[in-house]
Amino acid sequence: MISIYEAQQVILQHVAPLPREEIDLLQGLGRIIAEDVAAPWDVPTADNSAMDGYAFSHESLQSNRLKVTGFLPAGMKRSTPVLAGEAIKIMTGAPIPSGCDTVVPIEEVVDLGDEIRLQGDVKPGAHVRRRGDTIREGEVVIAAGTTLHASQSGLLASLGRTRVATYGRPRVAVIATGDELVEAGSVPEGAAVVNSNSHSIAMQILEAGAEPVVLGIARDTREATREMLLRGLEADVVITSGGVSVGDCDYVKEVVEELSGELLFWKVNIKPGKPTAFGMLRGKPFFGLPGNPVATMIAFEQFVRPALLKMMGHVSLFRPVVRATVTEGFRNDGERPHLVLCRLAAQEGRHVASISRAQGSSNLLTMARANGVIEVAPGGCLVPETEIEVTLLTGRV
């Protein structure tokens, strides 16, 4: 049985970033930029005023009084130079006119009508933003591998870009298996179970930045399983939940092999999540996740999410880890590493982790309340009021 970390390495060795595609900036939130972006021009494109004030030539200044000869708002240019002994009222962002090299803010002068009087010393070149001070033409301003957020989008737009090359967004087929399943919206009767896995997996896919394609339920026959897997191959990645164990009605493993797929592992030394499989099915990554809901979601976090992030061009593939003080004890008497769900909170400048009492692999209530997971080795224990490492299951505490 393969370890958690060996399984992750096997998966990451068999997936690669998707081909790049050019998209509109407003479609790119969270996508990974796939090109170095260089500035096509200097920023600012010309010397301009950093303040609302008055522009003049400090070099030719002979007294503290200057004649005001005009007004220059942002977006306008003055065609004639400003002469020695003169000043022009100028707004923030307006280009510095010929004959000027300094700006004095409005609040630092006395307005005398058609003249101003300077108050105190004004340094040469004050409040002037020079051409290229921020960005030089040809400078790489966004490196490939950067995540596209609001600031990057604004920067690209400021440089005349409306589109950018990003890595592709994988389409991920989601298939649930089992005769006992009914779809959400139904009232389960007898031994029926609502198919929650497709919903939780689809949401995890969306949260990772990929696109879920929910195909529904494959009933427990070889034919139904085969038909659904073939439909799944229209996507970039195929995920099943359930049907990868060794029961009489578990056909996923057999059908994957019948379709010329190669299973690289199909059991992982982990609790919950042992019956997890991974392989390549006609050139596409295939994940066979457990059927129990908590095991399904934890296996997705450990194995599917890093793969999807790599396919989308991310460099950081795993959730952040924080130090936290555990409040309850826990002992792992099993033979497999146990991923223990917990609730993290910030208290008095530190993180505190409360262990969820019910750790069963089918208890979705525990999963819904958890925002962290602690790995406890076989025979290991968590001691109250000691500090441990917790992997976040969400972006923040």
* pLDDT, mean of residues 158-187: 93
pLDDT at 70: 95
Tell me the Cα Rg of the chain: 31
* pLDDT, mean of residues 205-226: 95
Residue 245 banded pLDDT, cuts 50, 70, 90: low
pLDDT at 397: 73
Residue 396 banded pLDDT, cuts 50, 70, 90: confident
Q: Please, what are the domains in the chain?
A: 2-18+169-311 (3.40.980.10), 23-43+136-167 (3.90.105.10), 48-129 (2.170.190.11), 321-392 (2.40.340.10)
Identify residue 171 by its one-letter amino acid code: R
Q: Could you give the CA distance from residue 239 to residue 300 in angstroms, rounded to a whole number?
A: 9
pLDDT at 361: 86
pLDDT at 273 over 90: yes
Please enumerate in sequence order all residues whose Cβ is within 8 A of that of 95, keeping only pairs 6 or more positions apart, or say none: 46, 47, 48, 72, 77, 78
Q: Could you give the CA distance from residue 90 to residue 67 in angstroms, rounded to a whole number?
A: 14
Note whether 164 and 22 are within 8 A (CB). Answer: yes
pLDDT at 248 over 60: no
pLDDT at 297: 97
* pLDDT, mean of residues 53-75: 95
pLDDT at 249 over 70: no
Residue 357 banded pLDDT, cuts 50, 70, 90: confident
* pLDDT, mean of residues 211-237: 96
| Percentage with pLDDT > 70 across the chain | 99
* pLDDT, mean of residues 318-347: 95
Residue 161 banded pLDDT, cuts 50, 70, 90: very high
pLDDT at 12 over 90: yes
Averaged confidence pLDDT in the chain: 94
* pLDDT, mean of residues 284-291: 96
Return the top range by mean pLDDT from 75-89, 239-253, 348-362. Answer: 75-89
pLDDT at 246: 60
Residue 225 banded pLDDT, cuts 50, 70, 90: very high
Q: Could you give the CA distance from residue 291 to residue 129 in angstroms, rounded to a whole number?
A: 62
Residue 348 banded pLDDT, cuts 50, 70, 90: confident
pLDDT at 190: 75
* pLDDT, mean of residues 378-383: 96
* pLDDT, mean of residues 320-346: 95
Across the beta sheet with 211-218, what order do the strands follow?
211-218, 171-177, 237-241, 284-289, 277-281, 262-265
